[in-house]
Amino acid sequence: MVASNFAWIQVAWIATVIGVTGVLSFSSSLAISVGPYGCYNNKYSVSSALSAATASASATATAKVSTEADKHNNVGLYIHIPYCRQRCRYCDFAIVPIGDHNNTNEDDQLRRREKGFLRMDNRYVSAVVEELKQIAADKSNKNNCNNNQKIPLKSIYFGGGTPSLAPIDSIKRILYHVCGLDNPDAPFCLLQHDDTTEISMEMDPGTFDLDQLLALRTLGINRISLGVQSFDDDLLQGMGRTHRRADVFQAISDIASVFGGDGDNDNKVNYSIDLISGVPGLTLAKWAETLEEATAGIDNSSMMTKKQPLLLSSLPPPSHISVYDMQIEEGTLFGKWATEAKAAAAKSGKHDDDDHNDMDEDESRKEECAFMYKYAAGYLRAKNYEHYEVSSYAAFHDNKDDDDDDIIRKKNSNKKSPLGSISKRSRHNQIYWDYDGQWYAVGLGATSFVESKLVARPRQMNDYIEWVMRENNDTKASNVNNEDETDDSFLSDIILKRLRTIDGLDLTWLETKFGMEAVVAVIDGAKLGLELGIAERTTDNILRLKDPEG
């Protein structure tokens, strides 16, 4: 399929989602494009109003969004660590640039900067701890002062920012107030045995060493999310990233050394990498090369890390890959440059022919980005990764007891299996997309969703600390983005979230919760996609969108 055809299908894909969920809006009030950040990315959102038919169906629903019995079965905690060496040119997240404070130079100015960072970090961690204490107090009040009933967590996620820039003592202090075994006031507890809580930490290459990884493993961290973005030094520099290609392979080598268990090269090292497509200067050929290197490197070639030559094929492939398309956001350096370029073009009084040429170039670039997405989906599937969500790919386990038919059956199955039995999906991501997912969140700019209430915290450091330290919760609530989800808004959000995943929307669940009218409305909205073969209704009554060309 040529790129132009694919771009047209993407339009029909989106039209299917619009038909099912109602009107898409580009607002920041109730966005549902949740990354692994415990905060809502203000890119794609759905209005709280459904199409007339769906709204009518949900308005008559009597089922509750959640029940007391299942309230704590699917709960995560997001912890935002905002520190970054510098702000990347495409970044609009809530961060605090701190420079390279780990520099070993004994210069007086660097020492003063380090002391300033540690003072700020102490204030910030104290605010995070205060939030955790407030969660414990609220829980205690709801349980009639019984604070022994802790909330079990399926996932803890340290996101940012760059959490690997935080002092180990700060991470230790936070975890003590989250779920410390010797802390009777901690509001949460970890799952044990076969369903151990997944504790993830985002890290950037070049911001940690072996000793730091060993310390984090001792604290219970069992999954690393590595911000690779690209293996090309020129592209990394262009994006404003501070690491380089050699840092990436050194980071993966160190992660494998600490978290690799018995040393087998078979996806036992639980780490994820982030990649960005659509970057200015990224060609289709370079993108194909990027995916090759991401899934085990170029066979029989060597790479020099900062310490030693390294055989790429000797590194374990990532158990999870997230692929994001470059978005030019207002307020970023890329956004500023784009605005200035448009203003300069307008000021120069360009002719109509020049405008048409610019439009053609823009459309060509969009189709190239669409092709990169399609290529990544096909390539990673061929490399034994499950494309389980729009931007997320999870490696399948190699089970020596399975024959070829078993493996093919598992790959092609759209039924959700017990977590971890087929592929290494991110547990934290799964909470965001699941029907009953709830996530607590603490830290700068973090967004929580608990008991149908969406709360977004202030994005500036001083504002956040002042917000936390206020004693009156009602005063707090008036200064943040608070949303109580109605049945209507919950239904629209869950439909759009479920359609982002390979597991799709369970129409039997929908009927149980909202009645047959809602099912009829959804199927009617999906009519275009079903006719074009972009969506499908499976034999087990699941509505889902189909992967490009597959």
pLDDT in tens, 79-93: 999 999 999 988 989
Q: Are 26 and 391 in contact (CB under 8 A)?
A: no
Q: How many domains is the chain partitioned into structurally?
A: 2
Residue pLDDT, tens place only, 364-385:
778 899 999 999 999 999 999 9
Q: Where is the domain boundary, 433, 465, 499?
A: 433
What token pair was written down for 407? 């493996």
By CB neighbour count within 10 A (0-12 exposed, 13-18 middle, 19+ buried), where does 445 fall? buried
What token pair was written down for 311? 């055989």
Residues 338 and 287 in one domain: yes
Q: What is the domain range of residue 108?
A: 78-411+426-433
By CB neighbour count within 10 A (0-12 exposed, 13-18 middle, 19+ buried), where does 122 fall? middle
Q: Are 530 and 536 in contact (CB under 8 A)?
A: yes
When pLDDT is cut at 50, 70 and 90, the band that residue 296 belongs to is confident
Residue pLDDT, tens place only, 412-452:
444 444 343 468 999 999 999 999 999 999 999 999 999 98
Residues 31 and 103 in one domain: no
What token pair was written down for 180? 């410390």
When pLDDT is cut at 50, 70 and 90, the band that residue 11 belongs to is very low
Domain-embedded: residue 241: yes
Q: Which residues contact 433 (CB under 8 A, 6 or more apart)?
A: 34, 389, 497, 498, 500, 501, 503
Mean pLDDT computed over every residue of the chain: 78
Q: Which helix (H) or strand (E) holds 248?
A: helix 245-259
Residues 146 and 235 in one domain: yes
Residues 194 and 235 in one domain: yes
Domain-embedded: residue 417: no
Between helix 3-21 and helix 352-382 the angle, nearest 10°, is 80
Residues 496 and 355 in one domain: no
Residue pLDDT, tens place only, 155-200:
999 999 999 999 999 999 999 999 999 999 999 999 876 668 999 9
Q: Is this prediction's pTM over 0.85?
A: no
Residues 47 and 92 in one domain: no
Residue pLDDT, tens place only, 236-293:
999 999 999 999 999 999 999 999 865 444 446 899 999 999 998 999 999 999 999 9
How far apart are the two ends of the chain, measured CA to CA in Å? 12
> What one-character-per-residue DSSP string does 280-305 give?
TT--HHHHHHHHHHHTT-STT-EEE-
Residues 315 and 372 in one domain: yes
Residues 142 and 232 in one domain: yes
CA distances from 270 to 143, 317, 381, 424, 454 (A): 36, 10, 19, 8, 30
> What one-character-per-residue DSSP string does 365-426 give?
HHHHHHHHHHHHHHHHHHTTEEEEETTEEEEBP--TT--HHHHHHHHH--SPPSTTSSB---
Residue pLDDT, tens place only, 206-246:
999 999 999 999 999 999 999 999 999 999 999 999 999 99
CA distances from 230 to 99, 333, 547 (A): 21, 19, 24
- Distance, C-alpha 237 to centroid of its chain: 23
Residues 381 and 517 in one domain: no
Tell me how far apart the 2 most distant CA atoms of the chain are, in Å.
Answer: 73
Strands 75-81 and 438-442: parallel
Strands 198-203 and 223-229: parallel
When pLDDT is cut at 50, 70 and 90, the band that residue 501 belongs to is very high
Residue pLDDT, tens place only, 300-341:
345 555 555 555 556 889 999 999 998 888 888 888 887 877
Measured CA to CA, the distance from residue 417 to residue 358 in angstroms comes to 48
Domain-embedded: residue 471: no
